[in-house]
Structure 1
């Protein structure tokens, strides 16, 4: 009977030739985990792993995006560093996860640029757009003004704003859509599309909306700075996610008001668009602030340390979008409105322009991985082994 040491040596000696270095590491780690299986009940990654005898490129990319980086496996693993096997599942999967966002990005050149200099790209986009808008207002004489009772369209016409942000949002949706479509086509067998779609879709949606796999597999939460469990990361993610949805709902309601009901902005504080936007903005303040606090305190072996600046840049951008939006709401009837409007619009536009290439993309790819997992569990046994 082979020992785990023998299996580990074999995993290190044999790797599929089409894997990158990061993908080879995931394949090596998964071979060891497949022999051990101590963490099998922790999250969806390990049951999905046990359905495979080896790990192709598609399998590795799928498992990387199925991982929620809760940390339970790292702190429970007897082969984690400083053991000679050096098994660090969260780090290995995080590195491949970033690679998938680059590989499946559209245009791919922008994805590669974001991978190399994501923080610089975000900061340059936000500052550059803000400067452009401020200069445009200064040239038209609208930067310095008397209070306008919150009438943003006296600064920028409604149709101009709707066109600008409509095009940017459409670009983000198309870019993400093309990327996840290619990802799905690569990781999912054709048979998957014919098996239990309705039930699988409902299960995957529930797993995504509840952040089921941020509970460590036992309902007690993630490991952050040590092996103690906490639900803080799950709660801050919920505040961020649902805060974003509430802000999107506020914009959607305002669109209906303007185009279908003939009710132009500004809207009173107790109106649906303002109430939804305020609630969402508060969520997008607390959630990102909490995630940044946890990120700064997280265990150094948890995830990929090289990605921390990019992760923190994305969190700070979300926080900045919300902060400037709430300040704009509070100070919309002052002479500072135009300047705040320029800063807020620049932050929002920078967010949409970069969201297909950074941390936001992981939510879309993870939903696809959760759907594949739900479908895969319903496949007959002879279709479960691998993704080809």
Structure 2
């Protein structure tokens, strides 16, 4: 133990001497990640916890690209903080989850497209998200009120309120821009440190790890640590409900689009139709998952998160919750006088979600998937140490 303490202390002193910056000038947050990783590289107690630590051991120094890659590979499960003997209040102050969280926000900002909009990540908070939803919903309400009635008996077809082509014209540009902006950002992230040629086994492994949230099991299957350091699988389960709920809702919209254009079967659809079954299941899962994540976010220990990012995290969770809940409310309002109002609220929340998607917490899923693929490719290749690149 004394030998380990000496080795780790030397690593800490080496890190504090700024020799962790091999080529590029790092930001303060990146420098902190490089410092704690130098200490972790000397200790290696957490090597089996997640992909971050075996990927770390393939490096002796940590440049900007390495730090950004490892930060996005981190799932912020908190297991390493719980196990670390050098965590605060120790003088080394090793806090991998918090340091990685700060760098992830820097990553999204640095790789944002267009670059001038990178600063939006830091202002995309709960208040902004809800205000945008309310503003867009109010605009739609005023539009409906100016051409008809916002409350009254209508049939079950909301295309009588907003024509299909009008909805396509509203949402298609926003959605396509969100996809383009996220794609351009992650493309730059990928090419900054290309791990090598992609292979089918690497793709299969990374997709499986992403879809099962493998690295939210704490490395031992018991899950993440909550506010009192007890292990729990709740974060993993609520993430699954949120992700798969969102994907089911997206699938419902995609199937309905196919019905409309390919099969000439316009909405509305019955409760037993495929679009409706997908939408109901997805909406319920999305509401349950986001409610759970919001509850866990409120209770999480301050050392396990970056306080500056709470507004962005909660804003994204709230937008997903309102989108799912308003979608279910719209279904229940079918054929009632509340349909126009419910439709405006739902469309406002969806538009706000798409508008903030490229510059909000949604980006973490895209960058994390890219990091998982990078790690699956990298671990199948000789390390830099084996190649003598150190």
Q: TM-score category by the smaller chain?
A: over 0.9
Matches within 5 A, 1:1-388: 3-14=7-18, 15-16=20-21, 18-148=25-155, 150-189=156-195, 192-193=196-197, 197-382=199-384
Q: 1:195-231, CA deviations, whole angstroms, 9 ceiling, x for partnerless residues?
A: x511100000000000000000011111111221111
Q: Secondary structure at the match of 1:68?
A: coil
Gapped regions of structure 1 (runs ≥ 5): none
SS of equivalent residue, structure 2 residue 76 = coil
* Partner Cα separation in structure 1 for residue 99 and residue 387 of structure 2: 22
Separation in 1, partners of 2:271, 2:179: 30
Structure 2 contact 58–385 (Cα < 8 Å) conserved: no
Conservation of the 8 A alpha-carbon contact between 1:54 and 1:386: no
Question: Residue by residue, what CA displacement relative to the aligned partner does 1:144-185 show, whole Å, maximum 9, x if unpaired?
Answer: 33221x211000000110122111111111011000000001
User: Does the CA contact (< 8 Å) of 1:55 and 1:386 recur in 2?
Assistant: no
Once residues 385 and 358 of structure 1 are traced to their aligned partners in structure 2, the CA distance between those partners, rounded to angstroms, is 39
Q: What is the DSSP-based 3-state SS (H/G/I as helix, E as strand, rest coil) of the residue aligned with 2:358?
A: coil
Maintained 8 Å contact 1:355/1:361: yes
Shift of 1:387: 11
The range that moved more, 298-307 or 251-260, is 298-307
The alignment yields a C-alpha RMSD, in angstroms, of: 1.8
Q: Distance in 1 between matches of 2:186 and 2:124?
A: 22
Identify if the C-alpha distance between structure 1 residues 361 and 386 changes in structure 2 by more than 3 Å, giving closer, same or farther: farther
Gaps of 5+ in 2: none
Question: How far does the alpha carbon of each residue in 1:87-124 deviate from its partner, in whole angstroms, 9 at most, with x for none?
Answer: 10000000000111111112233330231343343223
Query: TM-score if structure 2 supplies the norm length?
Result: 0.95
Structure 2 Cα separation of the partners of residues 382 and 54 of structure 1: 11
Deviation at 1:384, TM superposition (A): 7.4
More divergent stretch after superposition (5-14 vs 79-88): 5-14
Q: Give CA deviations for 1:327-372 in whole Å, capped at 9, x if unaligned.
A: 0101121111111101100100100111111111100000000000
CA distance in 2, matches of 1:217, 1:291: 21
Q: 1:77 to 1:287 in 2, by over 3 A?
A: same
CA contact (8 A) 2:112 2:181 kept: yes
Does structure 2 retain, via aligned residues, the 8 Å contact 1:52–1:385? no
Give, in whole Å, the separation in 2 of the partners of 1:300 and 1:214.
19
